[in-house]
Structure 1
Amino acid sequence: MGKTRAADIAGGIGRVSKNVLSQTFEYIDLVEYIPSFVESTKQELESIVKFRGITIGAQDWIPDTKYDLIWCQWAIMYLMDDDCINFLIRCKSSLNEHGFIVVKDNIANKSKSLPKDRAQYRELDNQINRTYKHYLELFSKSGLKLIESIPQKKWDPELLPVYTFVLQ
């Protein structure tokens, strides 16, 4: 994997950009639909890396450059399946030859064998907590290959499980 450019999707106030991505990458694009979050992240990061804030939602983002890494943390759980697949297809097409997509999201249940229809919808924040198999189906439909899936360690058992998926 190269170390030139990363995108932080739905990056909020830039915790991942600052604490993870800026340690490795020269350029960071923060894709976030809340303008004040983009601005505060810019103020923190522009002296550390070459920063570009893109004020748009993930479902509408059309990458205009190539990336070594696209990081999507607690982002695609807010996208409907078709929007998610289209988003991931666009991400895949914007990867450099040895680039990766990382998806970190809640999983509906710790079981890897639950079917897609066991996903949970939270009306409060329009969040879809998909099953593990549902995520694999979305990745497959997007033409992505699962390289690794990693369960979150040291996680409160009262909370939904979290997985990090590494894709290419």
Structure 2
Amino acid sequence: MTAEVVEDEAAFYSKAEMYWKEIPPTVDGMLGGYGNISNVDITGSKKFLQKFLGEGAGKTGTSCALDCGAGIGRITKRLLLPLFQTVDMVDVTKEFLSKAKSYLGKEGERVGNYFCCGLQDFHPQQGRYDVIWIQWVIGHLTDGHFVQFLRRCKLGLKPNGIICIKDNVAHEGVIMDDVDSSVCRDLPSVHRIMKEAGLQILAEEKQDNLPEDIYPVQTLALR
């Protein structure tokens, strides 16, 4: 549990904010120097997400998506804007959202809102989103705030909407990273939080073809 590794909650969040303010607003910066994995990541995410989209009973619509921890909009540009009519972006770093407006190009005109906010304080508009995509950012939330945020996301979904989480998973327990002030949870810890938030797992799969020197990456769809 994060309570065992996060000694000072306020410092945990402020240190992360300071870390990201020093990171260049580039794809390589967003991916911690692993910009070369972007294509593999996006391809895997698109294949996973498209299983849920479409028309018919239980299918998820394509009118509006939310990109959480959006950075400069790498996922918004390459995954969400090609699939959804409108995308909202939320990130704690103002400079990243400013850069997004040029990085996204003309397609950025279909970004509805740029929210500058930490996820621990962010409240999605109720009933707005078909898909809420949360990638490589849950480690910046304590367990309690993670549960609360997922509950708010659930309220932010349209009928048949889904929450997708894609993130690193530890082999065992919860591991603190003092450099960027984040935690990496193992899958049982992630599952426990999702259950506490009242969400069911619809699908779960490991991202293939990533470097061996990073934690495994898991993608989950929740409702």
Query: What is the TM-score normalised by the length of structure 1?
Result: 0.91
Task: Give the corresponding residue for 1:141.
Answer: 196
Distance 2:160 2:101 in 1: 27
Per-residue deviation, 1:60: 0.7
Alignment of 1:13-162 (within 5 A): 13-45=72-104, 47-48=106-107, 49-51=109-111, 52-65=113-126, 66-109=128-171, 114=172, 118-162=173-217
Per-residue deviation, 1:46: 6.6
Per-residue deviation, 1:44: 3.8
Q: Percent identity?
A: 30
Per-residue deviation, 1:43: 3.0
Distance 1:64 1:91 in 2: 9
Distance 1:163 1:101 in 2: 14
- Residue deviations 1:124-152, cap 9 Å, x none? 21211101000000100011110111101
| 1:92 aligned partner, one-letter code | K
Task: Give the corresponding residue for 2:33.
Answer: none
CA contact (8 A) 1:42 1:53 kept: no
Query: What is the TM-score normalised by the length of structure 2?
Result: 0.69
- Residue deviations 1:27-73, cap 9 Å, x none? 11100111121122123447325212111111111112410000000
Distance 1:31 1:137 in 2: 25
Distance 1:18 1:3 in 2: 15
Distance 1:63 1:29 in 2: 10
CA contact (8 A) 2:72 2:103 kept: no
Distance 1:44 1:24 in 2: 18
What are structure 1's unaligned runs of at least 5 residues? none
Q: How many residues align?
A: 161
Answer 1 or 2: which has greater strand percent.
1
1:8 aligns with 2:67: yes
What are structure 2's unaligned runs of at least 5 residues? 1-59
Larger C-alpha radius of gyration, 1 or 2?
2
SS in 2 for 1:158: coil
Moved more, 130-139 or 34-43: 34-43
SS in 1 for 2:145: helix
Per-residue deviation, 1:123: 1.5
CA contact (8 A) 1:5 1:25 kept: yes
SS in 1 for 2:84: coil
CA contact (8 A) 2:81 2:110 kept: no
SS in 1 for 2:66: strand
